[in-house]
A and B are shown apart, each in its own frame.
Chain A
Amino acid sequence: MSEHVPEDLLVAFVEGEMGEQLSIHIAEHLDSCPMCATRAACLEPLGPAFAAMEDPEVPEGLAAAVLAAAAEEERPPQLEIAVGIGLLVAAIGVFVLLGEPLALASHGMVWLGALSAAGKALLLGLPSPIVMLPVTVVLGAASALLFARAAWPDALPEPPLRLAGRRLP
């Protein structure tokens, strides 16, 4: 839209009484045409009231407080580190109790969670251990089940595996 916006269109624009596409075109024109932007502002019924509103007073010392806060070292997120340490303890516990390579491998996510906690502590921007917590819990449970089945095959019922409608021997 290279020419100025006709008055009737401008009125419809200010009143919000036109289609989305046309209003986008007019808005883009107003962004680049100070004259039409001023004309539109004059048509805005509440324009004078907006202009009369005073700006909120900025509190004294805010800028200094910002600079002081920014200069402080960023504190590591305590909760995330606690969760990470919890995952680390869980991983060591699983290793000590089960000692099974399969279990240990399955608990890779637990170790990863602990690693991410260390990353949080060092502010390295790694994914949060809290995000990984549900995944580690599921993997941990699956791993423990696999281990239990291997260690005590008679204690747990065998799942009925079927192939092409026939039970496997």
Chain B
Amino acid sequence: MRLHHGEDLEPARIAAARDGDESAKAWLVDRWTAPTYRFCRRMLKNDEDARDAAQETLVKVLRNLDQYDASRKFSTWVFGIARNTCIDEHRRRKRRVWDEPRDTVDTGPTPLQVASTNERAERLSSALEGLPPMYREVLVLYHFEHLKYCEIAEALDLPMGTVMNRIFRARRKLRDIYEESGGES
């Protein structure tokens, strides 16, 4: 899991937020907005849907703090809620065009080496979007949110063996899509 300033304060803030402390709630939202949005954006491929899903996730987190089991990692609980919210969002928006082209940022002219790196990243990003959600979510949690394997199993409420199988298959599929698009792994 990515380290964050004041992470060791988290259990105390969670307890305070659970008791209704507004500043503790604000701290938790500030702490978890970026990871939650990043996850939703990578799962939903669309800025607007990701924003809605991230907001819904964090509201659920705040409203259900009394259901959080402190023996689990808070990150796995939050990502579990985010994942379920993304699935719901996906179902709700099924009629909309699902695979809209991803918004790209115009980075302007860059040195050749940087362009090459950006190109690889862009190609990988497209390949990742081509993966079914069940494979994409394990890779996003592992490679971007840096969850451990056991934490991914906890967040997705899956046995460790299933998580490992999904990660292996996801990597293989990702490599195939990436190489088909002209990238060299």
Interface: A30 (CB within 8 A): yes
Binary CB contact string for chain B from 44 to 76 against chain A (1 if under 8 A, 0 otherwise): 000100110011001100110000000000000
> A49 contacts which chain B residues (CB < 8 A)?
120-121, 123-124, 178, 183, 185
B54 and A62: CB pair below 8 A? yes
Q: Quick one: which of B34, B51, B164, B171 has the most chain A CB within 10 A? A: B164
Tell me how many residue pairs across A and B have CB atoms closer than 8 Å: 107
> B98 contacts which chain A residues (CB < 8 A)?
none
A8 CB → nearest B CB, Å: 17
Instruction: List the A residue with the shortest CB-CB distance to B171.
Output: A16
B33 and A28: CB pair below 8 A? no
Query: Which stretch, B4-12, B81-89, B142-150, touches the partner chain A?
Result: B142-150
Query: Which stretch, A53-61, A80-88, A97-105, A133-141, touches the partner chain B?
Result: A53-61
B29 and A55: CB pair below 8 A? no
B108 CB → nearest A CB, Å: 14
> B120 contacts which chain A residues (CB < 8 A)?
48-49, 52
Interface: A74 (CB within 8 A): yes
Bound: A27/B172 CA distance, A: 17
Interface: A106 (CB within 8 A): no
Instruction: Please report whether the interface of chain A is mostly helix, strand, loop or mixed according to DSSP.
Output: helix
Bound: A58/B41 CA distance, A: 9
Interface: A3 (CB within 8 A): no
B33 and A62: CB pair below 8 A? yes
> A48 contacts which chain B residues (CB < 8 A)?
117, 120
Bound: A20/B163 CA distance, A: 10
B150 and A31: CB pair below 8 A? yes
Interface: A163 (CB within 8 A): no
B185 and A45: CB pair below 8 A? yes
Q: Quick one: which of A30, A45, A74 has the most chain B CB within 10 A? A: A45
> B123 contacts which chain A residues (CB < 8 A)?
49
B29 and A20: CB pair below 8 A? no
Interface: A67 (CB within 8 A): yes
A66 and B160: CB pair below 8 A? no
Interface: A69 (CB within 8 A): yes
A66 CB → nearest B CB, Å: 4
A16 CB → nearest B CB, Å: 3
Binary CB contact string for chain B from 153 to 185 against chain A (1 if under 8 A, 0 otherwise): 000000011011101110110110010000101
> A23 contacts which chain B residues (CB < 8 A)?
161, 164, 168
B37, B149, B178: which contacts A62 (Cβ < 8 A)? B37
> A74 contacts which chain B residues (CB < 8 A)?
63
Interface: A50 (CB within 8 A): yes
Q: Quick one: which of A30, A55, A65, A66 has the most chain B CB within 10 A? A: A66
Binary CB contact string for chain A from 91 to 125 against chain B (1 if under 8 A, 0 otherwise): 00000000000000000000000000000000000
B161 and A24: CB pair below 8 A? yes
A31 and B59: CB pair below 8 A? no
Instruction: List the A residue with the shortest CB-CB distance to B124.
Output: A49
Q: Which A-B residue pairs are the 10 nearest by beta carbons?
A: A16-B168, A45-B185, A27-B149, A56-B41, A52-B121, A31-B148, A49-B124, A66-B58, A70-B62, A53-B121
B→A interface (CB under 8 Å): 25-26, 29-30, 33-34, 37-38, 41-42, 47, 50-51, 54-55, 58-59, 62-63, 105, 117-118, 120-121, 123-125, 143-144, 148-151, 160-161, 163-165, 167-169, 171-172, 174-175, 178, 183, 185
